[in-house]
């Protein structure tokens, strides 16, 4: 177990690993604490969605931090290093070339095929006590690890993938977790020293130089050309415009010809 980890517990079933770790932090458990589950009965996704996977199909894990050592405007980097650490661990577990697993801003892990992009993992960051002397952050990630393609839900089969599908063999979630925690440990040690692998995060962004649809909380939708990501603020870059994660409800790669281009 990497040195920065104070507590690591594995569960067969929990409500949500994010809730387990939030509870631990509220009780005073020191960082970095990690909960892992084979199944969740109340798994949460972003934008108020639920997150479900059959028992044992996905690696479900949450990591808890007390980021007094991180500037508040850089809190987003906890989710960014989690995503990059899992992308690298997934490549190792499935013997994929480095750089195969991409990130879809803000935090999804995806695979790009010749004609589409498929989701491999989702990340949910939650915070408590920001602005106090006891800030707490939980970064949860659900990775489609050993999920057999024949068991993908019909409604998601065209938009998801798994490490098992990519490797053509079963995936050991214990090995995947070890590889992830080793990388996360190193990245968090770097963050504590004020270092962040900006290139490692920005180079994996699937949205860069692509047309994307931005759905805003008010229901409006615009199609724009993403030009990159801002490694200081975590924003999506559209030319000179920075789009912060809180401004957007959903990002989708645009299908050509479905919307008019509107500059923001
Ligand atoms: C998303 O893509 O919407 C984010 C999904 C995050 C799911 C993970 S699974 C482990 C952790 N526990 C939860 O309840 N959610 C996250």
> Length of the chain, please?
264
Mean pLDDT of 84-106: 97
Averaged pLDDT of the chain: 94
Residue to mutate (ligand 1; options 51, 56, 104, 144; most atoms within 8 A of CB): 51
Mean pLDDT of 105-113: 93
| Among the ranges given (59-73, 102-116, 146-160), the one the predictor scored with the smallest mean pLDDT | 102-116
60 ligand 1 Cβ < 6 A: yes
Residue to mutate (ligand 1; options 138, 140, 145; most atoms within 8 A of CB): 140
d(CA 168, CA 185): 29
Bridge partners for 215 per DSSP? 221, 250
pLDDT of residue 263: 36
pLDDT of residue 257: 53
Does the structure show a pLDDT above 90 at 138?
Answer: yes
Does the structure show a pLDDT above 50 at 260?
Answer: no
| Among the ranges given (117-126, 240-249, 252-261), the one the predictor scored with the smallest mean pLDDT | 252-261
CA of 16 to the centre of ligand 1 (A): 8
145 ligand 1 Cβ < 6 A: no
Can you tell me whether residue 245 is helix, strand or coil?
helix
pLDDT of residue 121: 98
**Cβ(137)–Cβ(78) under 8 Å?**
yes
Q: How many CA atoms lie within 13 Å of 261's alpha carbon, on the beta-carbon side?
A: 8
CA of 210 to the centre of ligand 1 (A): 26
The first and second tokens of residue 148, run together, are 């057999």
CA of 240 to the centre of ligand 1 (A): 32
Contacts of 86 (CB under 8 A, 6+ apart): 109, 121, 141, 143, 180
d(CA 207, CA 227): 8
d(CA 245, CA 254): 18
Q: How many CA atoms lie within 13 Å of 3's alpha carbon, on the beta-carbon side?
A: 4
pLDDT digits over 163-192, tens only?
999 999 999 999 999 999 999 999 999 999
Mean pLDDT of 200-224: 95
pLDDT digits over 225-244, tens only?
999 999 999 999 999 999 99
pLDDT of residue 88: 98
143 ligand 1 Cβ < 6 A: no
Label residue 256 by pLDDT band (50, 70, 90): low
CA of 50 to the centre of ligand 1 (A): 8
**Cβ(68)–Cβ(135) under 8 Å?**
yes
Label residue 255 by pLDDT band (50, 70, 90): confident
Label residue 221 by pLDDT band (50, 70, 90): very high
Q: Between β-strands 33-40 and 136-143, what pairing exists: parallel, antiparallel or unpaired?
A: unpaired
């Amino acid at each position: 177990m990497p040195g920065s980890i104070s507590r690591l517990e594995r569960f067969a079933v929990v409500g949500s690993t994010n809730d387990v770790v939030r509870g631990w932090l509220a009780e005073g458990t020191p960082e970095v604490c990690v909960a892992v589950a084979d199944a969740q009965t109340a798994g949460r996704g972003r934008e108020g969605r639920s997150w479900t996977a059959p028992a044992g199909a996905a690696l479900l894990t949450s990591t808890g931090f007390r980021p007094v050592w991180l500037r508040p405007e850089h809190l987003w980097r906890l989710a960014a290093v989690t995503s990059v650490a899992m992308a690298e661990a997934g490549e190792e577990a499935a013997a994929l070339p480095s750089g195969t697993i991409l990130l879809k801003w803000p935090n999804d892990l995806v695979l790009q095929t010749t004609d589409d992009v498929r989701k491999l993992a989702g990340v949910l960051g939650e915070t408590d006590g920001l602005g106090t002397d006891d800030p707490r952050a939980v970064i949860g990630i659900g990775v489609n690890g050993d999920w057999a393609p024949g068991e993908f839900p019909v409604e998601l089969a065209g938009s998801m993938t798994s490490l098992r599908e990519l490797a053509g063999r079963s995936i050991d979630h214990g090995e995947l977790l070890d590889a992830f925690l080793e990388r996360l440990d190193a990245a968090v040690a770097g963050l504590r020293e004020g270092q962040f692998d900006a290139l490692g995060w920005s180079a994996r962004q699937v949205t860069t130089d692509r047309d994307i649809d931005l759905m805003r909380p008010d229901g409006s939708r615009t199609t724009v050309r993403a030009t990159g990501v801002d490694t200081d603020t975590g924003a999506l870059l559209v030319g000179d415009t920075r789009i912060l994660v809180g401004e957007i409800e959903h990002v989708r790669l645009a299908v050509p010809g479905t919307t008019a281009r509107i500059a923001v």
